[in-house]
Structure 1
């Protein structure tokens, strides 16, 4: 299991860095799209394969928004106390989509309704028709999707890039957010480590694959053998990276005033090893800003939600229950 999770982290982090560099070189806004029908079909087969391992959703929604349509999976609450519990909305990391939450859903579905989205402009089942011109547009499509689902208020959870998106949404539309949970949020608290940018250059230039594997291993904090291993999730991410021309605008680091303007409860969980959120420095800054709880989770990397799914499940349920009103 550790090997599988580490490979996912390497692929997601590697492509996050690539998208950041490419956005600086080619800043003209465009629309995410499949490079070929064959590539789309290959990705869809891999995506469906991973989704088949998740609990079957109660409903599948394609919600129209200004920038296209958002694919949302719903697991409807069935427990007797579900009427007293606000829904949870999950926003994924880059290239991961709704399938990334497979390790977590079993801990959360049942007594409360859970929604998982594929992001606009990234590989997945969401469709983009209008360019994103700034990172604030991420907040717009999330807000429109929540409104389209009829959710007046929800607990919003994001991982990695999805955590940055969740933060932008909470800043722009605080009334919709009952609580904000940020798992390894990239860039919004602290920049990426300098070593990540140095190793990432090997992902952008024509060098032997063995060099690229070493770079991804260094970025993700794993071995080269773990990078080479193939799993259903890593195949899905790899097919998306190969066949989908993503348009992923880079989040910015928020000011202290912006963080302090967030009036909803905010929880931040940071990896204890090879954090891409800023590690101890990000945790220190968050605590200084008065955010509570801020947890550095030992033995985890950027794939924190999957690696710590067992303890994180009941912890987050208790946190949400404490802020259902």
Structure 2
């Protein structure tokens, strides 16, 4: 899902793109999760195993919630934190997301499920139905892979206040699952930033704004290299 973004940084940065534990992919999970904090422990195992003393941590959606939780518990490993449409950690999910998600588990017509995936992902139904390697993987994973993953939680003001590393927050202005302008304002109130609300974007913000985000994030990481 980072295919639109990685070309902007390959050759300039050493990149580690990890398949999420608890989701379909090539990573192998050896023990069950007991809480969402286990997601942070997994990221720490990866960074430690690669002998990375400090890294710029970047996450989108669920991955951003993982990145934020890891930074909360392991701030010494993080040079900067970039959160793109982070779910839950700034503001709870809209009620509509739970409705659309439940539809995916029911024996409903495929057309309904296509609509649900479009609403959750912030894309059109036509994009969901387009058969690309990415869409095929998502479809196969949703049908044949089942590994219950603990849900992220909204971090308290005190927890956000304890995160002293530089934090960048990018929010979509349409069909945001991160909380939209309210989430952006909370980040500003918490003195986290820069905070940007991107016009004409949905929850698929990193792919939709890849050309603009590429140089912006590179400059942000360079500013906080140390």
Normalised by the size of structure 2, how large is the TM-score? 0.95
CA RMSD across the alignment: 1.4
Q: Report which stretch shifted further, 204-213 or 309-318.
A: 204-213
Q: Report which stretch shifted further, 146-155 or 238-247.
A: 238-247
Render the CA deviation track for 1:67-114: whole Å, top value 9, x for unaligned.
xxxxxxxxxxxxxxxxxxxxxxxxxxxxxxxxx111111111212211
Q: Is the 8 A contact 2:80 2:166 kept in 1?
A: yes
In the alignment, the residues of structure 2 paired with residue 139 and residue 272 of structure 1 have an alpha-carbon distance, to the nearest angstrom, of 28
- Alignment pair present for 1:235 and 2:147: no
The aligned residue for residue 7 of structure 1 is: none
Which runs of 5 or more structure 2 residues have no equivalent in the other structure?
none
Cα distance, 1:222 vs structure 2: 4.2
The aligned residue for residue 264 of structure 1 is: 165
In the alignment, the residues of structure 1 paired with residue 55 and residue 76 of structure 2 have an alpha-carbon distance, to the nearest angstrom, of 10
- Alignment pair present for 1:245 and 2:155: no
Cα distance, 1:238 vs structure 2: 1.2
Alignment of 1:286-301 (within 5 A): 286-301=187-202
In the alignment, the residues of structure 1 paired with residue 26 and residue 57 of structure 2 have an alpha-carbon distance, to the nearest angstrom, of 20
Cα distance, 1:306 vs structure 2: 1.0
* CA gap 1:265/1:144 in 2 versus in 1, 3 angstroms: same
Q: Is the 8 A contact 2:40 2:73 kept in 1?
A: yes
Alignment of 1:1-325 (within 5 A): 100-325=1-226
Secondary structure, in 3 states, of the residue corresponding to 2:59?
Answer: strand
Render the CA deviation track for 1:118-154: whole Å, top value 9, x for unaligned.
1222111110111111111111111111011010001
* CA gap 1:145/1:294 in 2 versus in 1, 3 angstroms: same
Aligned length: 226
In the alignment, the residues of structure 2 paired with residue 134 and residue 221 of structure 1 have an alpha-carbon distance, to the nearest angstrom, of 27
Q: Is the 8 A contact 2:90 2:179 kept in 1?
A: yes
Cα distance, 1:224 vs structure 2: 3.2
In the alignment, the residues of structure 2 paired with residue 115 and residue 218 of structure 1 have an alpha-carbon distance, to the nearest angstrom, of 29
Normalised by the size of structure 1, how large is the TM-score? 0.67
Secondary structure, in 3 states, of the residue corresponding to 1:168?
Answer: helix
* CA gap 1:107/1:126 in 2 versus in 1, 3 angstroms: same
Which runs of 5 or more structure 1 residues have no equivalent in the other structure?
1-99
* CA gap 1:218/1:154 in 2 versus in 1, 3 angstroms: closer
The aligned residue for residue 44 of structure 1 is: none
Secondary structure, in 3 states, of the residue corresponding to 1:141?
Answer: helix
In the alignment, the residues of structure 1 paired with residue 143 and residue 107 of structure 2 have an alpha-carbon distance, to the nearest angstrom, of 16
Secondary structure, in 3 states, of the residue corresponding to 2:2?
Answer: helix
In the alignment, the residues of structure 2 paired with residue 221 and residue 125 of structure 1 have an alpha-carbon distance, to the nearest angstrom, of 25
Higher gyration radius (CA):
1
